[in-house]
Amino acid sequence: MFERLKKALVESFVGAIGLGWLFAQGVLHFAYVFTGPLAGWISSREYFALTSRVPSPGFWFRDSLLELARSLALLLLAYVLLRWLYFKPPQEVKPLFQPDDAYHPQQEGGKISPNPEDPPENRFEGVLAWYRDWCAKAAERAVEDDPLMALRGSGKALWADEHANHYVRRLREGWE
E strand or H helix at 134? helix 125-145
Does residue 23 or residue 11 have the better pLDDT? 23
How sure is the predictor about 27, in pLDDT bands with cuts at 50, 70 and 90?
very high
What domain range includes position 13?
A: 2-86
What b-and-e string marks burial along 97-133, b requiring 16 or more CB atoms within 10 Å of the CB? eeeeeeeebeeeeeeeeeeeeeeeeeebeeebeeeee
Give the pLDDT of residue 122: 61
Give the pLDDT of residue 28: 92
98 located within any domain: no
At residue 133, does pLDDT exceed 80? yes
* Overall average pLDDT of the 108-128 stretch: 62
How sure is the predictor about 6, in pLDDT bands with cuts at 50, 70 and 90?
confident
DSSP 163: -
Residue type, 164: A
Claim to verify: residue 145 and residue 73 sit in the same structural domain: no
Of the chain, the percentage scoring pLDDT greater than 70 comes to 72
91 located within any domain: no
147 located within any domain: yes
137 located within any domain: yes
* Averaged pLDDT of the chain: 76
Torsion of CA 66, 71, 73, 76, to 10 degrees: -160
Query: Mind listing the pLDDT tens digit for each residue in 52-74?
Result: 666 565 556 777 888 899 999 99
* Overall average pLDDT of the 83-87 stretch: 85
Q: Among 20, 53, 86, where does a domain finish? A: 86
Give the pLDDT of residue 60: 67
Claim to verify: residue 69 and residue 124 sit in the same structural domain: no
Give the DSSP letter string of 16-83.
Answer: HHHHHHHHHHHHHHHHHHHHHHHHHHHHHHHHHHHHT-PPPPS--THHHHHHHHHHHHHHHHHHHHHH
Number of domains in the chain: 2
Does residue 58 or residue 161 have the better pLDDT? 161
d(CA 176, CA 165): 18
45 located within any domain: yes
